Amino acid sequence: MTLILFLVIFGIVVVSHEFGHFLLAKANGIHVVEFSVGMGPNIFSFQKGDTRYSLKWFPIGGACMFEGEDGLQMKAGEVSEGSFLHASVWSRIATVIAGPFFNFILAFFVAMIMVSMIAVRDPVATEVIDGGAAQAAGLCAGDRILAIDGEKIKLYEDILLFNQTYDGGSVSVTYERNQEQGTVLLTPMYDEEQGRYMLGISNSDFVDIKGFDTVRYAWYELRFGMISTYKGLSMLLQGKVNRQDVSGPVGIAVNVVGKTYEATKGYGWKNVFVNMLNIIMLLSVNLGILNLLPLPALDGGRLLFLVLEILRGKPVPPEKEGMVHFIGLMFFMVIMVVVLFNDLSNIFGQFI
């Protein structure tokens, strides 16, 4: 069941990304040579029109390959009408950015389904912990947290994310009490049981979302996914994330999908379904943001070359750009091997 759920989740997230590229390419007259899900050798493939559709063995990505992209399918010095290079630079920018954009669209609609099926927690302190930082600062049960250090708070999960990423020092907390706003300064205290610093408030009040509020809270969930991805990347670059916290496809399948399924299946299919939706949303947001990073072989790296083309008034020779992206692809393949080893080490521990 873990494998089935992972493959379904992987397929939905990757297909949405590649379909964004595919749709905008077709709209701009760009010939799509191959639309593939997965990497490596084909499990099966078929030709429809001028595009080959493939399902590959390794669930570590996908591809929407265009004629003329990085010199692909180009005859010596020839640029055909359907070539990627034949399209205007703005059409190419739209085609490249469409993949990540479709990931955000998918995440938003998944979030809408999710919040319509479950109750959510507003950032209200239903309990102030005795002896905690919030109590010492004068916060009371019923206070709605509006911002922490100037960062807006929309869900209780935003507060939990702050607790997880807190790195020391005093913080300002803006709250609302009896329709009046106030601000206090507090220093989170370390909680031995939780193993992290805490503000000293909790929330056990779940609210059912109906009507147009579904759209608003879906945006809050999408916003939470974006902020958590950004903060996770920031911590990774700062060396604040240890090896056990980094996962690839195997780790996601076993430690995220598998453990979530085992923890929720006793509560019925609805609970499992909602939690799988949450994983789809978070992975889709992660894929969208990561692909916008200005690195070779990623959509962000291609956008960088297109911006450079606008500034120069002419494109970078496709064979040179292709070489840069090839080197980037090889680098990411090495990273994938390292992450795979890390996943296996986390799963099997001392056996490796």
**How confident is the model over 289-347, as pLDDT tens digits?**
999 999 998 999 999 999 999 999 998 888 888 889 889 888 888 888 778 787 777 76
Lowest mean pLDDT among 74-88, 152-166, 168-182: 74-88
Average pLDDT over residues 28-45: 93
Q: pLDDT averaged over the chain?
A: 89
> Per residue in 164-179, pLDDT tens?
889 889 999 999 999 9
Is 198's pLDDT higher than 60? yes
Is residue 275 assigned to a domain? no
Q: pLDDT category, 78, cuts 50, 70, 90?
A: low
Q: Helix, strand, or coil here: 144?
A: strand
Is 74's pLDDT higher than 70? no
Average pLDDT over residues 276-289: 95
Is residue 66 assigned to a domain? yes
Average pLDDT over residues 198-225: 93
- The alpha carbons of the chain give a radius of gyration, in whole angstroms, of 23
Q: Are strands 127-128 and 144-148 parallel, antiparallel or unpaired?
A: unpaired
Q: How far apart are CA 255 and CA 259, in angstroms?
A: 5
Looking at residue 76, its pLDDT comes to 47
Is 205's pLDDT higher than 70? yes
Q: How far apart are CA 26 and CA 238, in angstroms?
A: 41
Cα dihedral 342, 343, 348, 352 sign = negative
Looking at residue 317, its pLDDT comes to 85
The verdict on 197 and 303 lying in the same domain is: no
Find the domain containing 183 and state its range.
123-204
Q: How far apart are CA 110 and CA 112, in angstroms?
A: 5
Is residue 65 assigned to a domain? yes
CA dihedral 318, 319, 323, 329 (to 10 degrees): 50
Lowest mean pLDDT among 85-94, 198-207, 247-256: 247-256
Is residue 155 assigned to a domain? yes
Residue type at 225 in one-letter notation: G
Residue that is written with structure tokens 């000293």 in the block: 200
The verdict on 165 and 97 lying in the same domain is: no
The closest of 247, 279, 300, 292 to 106, measured between CA atoms, is 279
Residue 148 near residue 173 (C-beta atoms within 8 A): yes
Is 22's pLDDT higher than 80? yes
Is residue 270 assigned to a domain? no
Looking at residue 352, its pLDDT comes to 46
Is residue 168 assigned to a domain? yes
Residue that is written with structure tokens 């979302």 in the block: 209
Q: For the chain, what is the domain count?
A: 2
Is residue 75 assigned to a domain? yes
Q: How far apart are CA 79 and CA 100, in angstroms?
A: 27
pLDDT above 70 covers what percent of the chain? 93
> Per residue in 113-154, pLDDT tens?
999 998 899 999 999 999 999 999 999 999 999 999 999 999
* Reduced 3-state DSSP string for 312-343: HCCCCCHHHHHHHHHHHHHHHHHHHHHHHHHH
The verdict on 69 and 135 lying in the same domain is: no
Is 77's pLDDT higher than 60? no
Q: How far apart are CA 14 and CA 240, in angstroms?
A: 29
Instruction: Give Cβ neighbours of residue 195 (< 8 Å, ≥ 6 apart).
Output: none
Instruction: Give Cβ neighbours of residue 314 (< 8 Å, ≥ 6 apart).
Output: none
